[in-house]
C-alpha cells in the first residue's frame, strides 16, 4: 500500500500502484539520468542509459528502499529506568562532563551503592560560574517539575504504552536546581547530522520525526508545550537498529539563557514565525511545536534547517513573504509527497498547519509505510 494522493474527487494518481520506496528510487534514478545527460551534453558525448553504470551506488546515502523495516527498534529495549525520588545530589558520584549549553552543564554521574537501575544518570545543573537569582532558581525547578510530570504521564498511562520518547527524569532537586535524567548513550540528533551532512536515510528521518511527535503528543495532552524542539534537544539511545530518539530540556535552557541575557536558548534556526513576531502571528503554543518538528524533519532530510544564516537572515526567511524552499529542492530524490507533508507543518500562519501534532505524526508514519495521507496533504498535492 502506498501514500494516498487522492484529491477531493478521489482521482487516482499515475503512481498509485507504486510504493513510496519505489517512488523515491525512481525519482533518484530520473535525477541521476538528467545529471548524466547534462554532463554528456557539456562534453559532447552521446547520452547513456541510466542502467549502464551504477558504479557510484556505494557513494550515495541509503534510500528508503535500502533500509529494512527491522531497523525500527522495539520499545521494550529503550524503556526509561525507574524514578528514584529519594535520590540526593550527595548520593551521586560525578564522573565526567558530557555536555553543556544554555548556561548549564551536563555530567555523567554514578550511583555507587545502587541495588537497582539505574547505575548512572546524566546530571543537569546550572554552570557554577553563572550567578542566578532566586527567581531563576525557582523557574528552573518549576521547569524540571514540568519535565518530570510529562515523563510520568508517558510512563503511567496505558494510552502511551508504545511511546518512549521523553527522556526519563530519575530525580530532581528540592531546593537546589538540578535534574538527574536518564543516561542517553547515543548522543543527540545534532551529532548524528554531523555524520550525515546531506541528511539521514529518508526512512529513518521520517520515523524519527514521527517519534518526536509522539513525545510531544504526551505533553500536549497535559496542556504543556516544549517550544524549543531542535536536534540538540533530541537525545538518542543506541539500539540494534536506528538510534531511538527522546525529547529532553523542557524549558531549562531557555530559563538559564534568559537569566544570563544570552541568545543561546532561542534556537533561531528552528523558531516559528510567532516566536519572532507574536503581534503578527499570535502567541507561541502547541502549533509552534508542530512548526519546529517540521523544521527538524527538514534538517533530518536535507542536512540543514529550512532557514540558515545569521539571526537576522533567518528571521527574514521565516517571517518574510517568499515561500520556504521545499526539502525536495535540496535533496533531489525526495518525491512531492515529502514536500507536501513537511511543508504543511512549516506554514507561516499557525492555523494553516496540522491541527495537532498527532496528525502530523500520522502523516509522517503514513508517508514511510504507505498509509493514507491526511486530506490537507492530499489537497496540497492537487494544487
Q: How far apart are the first and last CA of the chain?
A: 23
In terms of DSSP bridges, do strands 120-126 and 169-172 run parallel, antiparallel, or are they unpaired? unpaired
4-14 average pLDDT score = 41
- Better-scored residue on pLDDT, 112 or 271: 271
pLDDT 10s digits, 174-229: 888 999 999 999 999 999 999 999 999 999 999 999 999 999 999 999 999 999 99
pLDDT at 58: 33
Going by pLDDT thresholds of 50, 70 and 90, the confidence category of residue 53 is: very low
Q: What does the block give as the cell for 124? A: 543537569
Residue 364: count other Cβ atoms within 10 Å of its Cβ.
25
Going by pLDDT thresholds of 50, 70 and 90, the confidence category of residue 15 is: low
Which residues are within 8 A (CB) of 297 and not within 5 positions of it... i.e. 6 or more apart? 205, 206, 208, 209, 342, 345, 364
State the average pLDDT for the chain. Answer: 83
- Better-scored residue on pLDDT, 97 or 74: 97
30-57 average pLDDT score = 50
Measured in degrees and rounded to the nearest 5, phi and psi for residue 245 equal -90, 140
> Which domains, from first to last, does the chain contain?
76-382 (1.10.510.10)
Alpha helices, DSSP H only, in the chain? 20-43, 134-156, 189-195, 202-221, 252-260, 273-276, 278-281, 286-302, 311-319, 336-345, 357-369, 375-382
Residue 47: count other Cβ atoms within 10 Å of its Cβ.
12
In terms of DSSP bridges, do strands 93-101 and 179-182 run parallel, antiparallel, or are they unpaired? unpaired
pLDDT at 383: 80
Q: What is the DSSP letter of 184?
A: -
Cut 0.75: pTM above it: yes
- Better-scored residue on pLDDT, 41 or 24: 24
Amino acid at each position: 500500500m502506498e501514500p494516498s494522493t487522492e484529491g477531493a474527487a478521489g482521482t487516482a494518481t499515475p503512481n498509485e500502484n507504486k510504493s513510496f520506496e519505489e517512488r523515491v528510487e525512481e525519482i533518484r534514478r530520473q535525477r541521476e539520468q538528467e545529471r548524466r545527460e547534462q554532463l554528456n551534453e557539456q562534453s559532447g558525448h552521446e547520452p547513456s542509459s541510466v542502467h549502464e553504470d551504477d558504479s557510484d551506488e556505494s557513494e550515495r546515502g541509503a534510500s528508503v528502499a535500502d533500509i529494512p523495516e527491522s531497523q525500527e527498534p522495539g520499545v521494550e529495549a529503550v524503556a526509561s529506568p525507574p524514578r528514584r525520588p529519594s535520590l540526593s545530589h550527595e548520593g551521586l558520584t560525578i564522573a565526567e562532563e558530557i555536555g553543556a549549553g544554555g548556561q548549564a552543564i551536563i555530567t555523567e554521574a554514578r550511583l555507587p551503592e545502587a541495588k537497582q537501575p539505574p547505575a548512572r544518570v546524566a546530571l543537569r545543573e546550572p554552570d557554577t560560574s553563572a550567578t542566578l537569582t532566586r527567581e531563576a532558581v525557582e523557574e528552573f525547578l518549576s521547569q524540571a517539575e514540568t519535565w518530570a510530570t510529562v515523563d510520568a504521564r508517558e510512563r503511567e498511562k496505558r494510552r502511551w504504552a508504545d511511546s518512549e520518547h521523553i527522556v526519563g527524569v530519575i530525580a530532581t532537586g528540592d531546593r537546589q536546581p538540578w535534574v538527574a535524567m536518564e543516561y542517553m548513550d547515543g548522543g543527540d540528533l545534532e551529532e548524528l547530522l554531523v555524520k550525515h551532512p546531506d541528511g539521514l536515510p529518508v526512512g529513518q528521518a521520517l520515523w524519527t520525526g514521527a517519534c518526536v511527535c509522539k513525545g510531544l503528543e504526551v505533553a500536549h495532552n497535559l496542556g504543556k508545550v516544549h517550544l524549543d524542539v531542535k536536534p540538540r534537544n533530541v537525545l538518542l539511545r543506541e539500539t540494534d537498529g536506528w538510534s531511538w530518539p527522546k525529547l529532553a530540556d523542557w524549558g531549562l535552557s531557555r530559563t538559564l539563557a534568559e537569566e544570563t541575557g544570552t541568545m543561546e536558548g532561542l534556537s533561531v534556526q528552528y523558531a516559528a514565525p510567532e516566536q519572532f513576531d507574536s503581534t503578527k502571528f499570535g502567541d507561541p503554543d502547541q502549533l509552534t511545536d508542530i512548526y519546529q518538528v517540521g523544521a527538524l524533519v527538514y534538517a533530518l532530510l536535507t542536512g540543514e534547517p529550512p532557514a540558515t544564516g545569521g539571526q537576522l537572515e533567518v528571521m527574514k526567511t521565516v517571517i518574510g513573504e517568499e515561500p520556504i524552499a521545499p526539502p525536495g529542492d535540496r535533496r533531489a530524490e525526495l518525491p512531492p509527497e515529502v514536500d507536501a507533508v513537511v511543508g504543511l507543518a512549516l506554514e507561516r500562519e499557525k492555523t494553516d498547519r496540522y491541527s495537532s501534532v498527532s496528525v502530523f505524526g500520522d502523516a509522517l508514519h503514513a508517508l514511510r509505510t504507505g498509509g493514507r495521507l491526511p486530506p490537507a496533504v492530499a489537497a496540497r498535492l492537487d494544487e
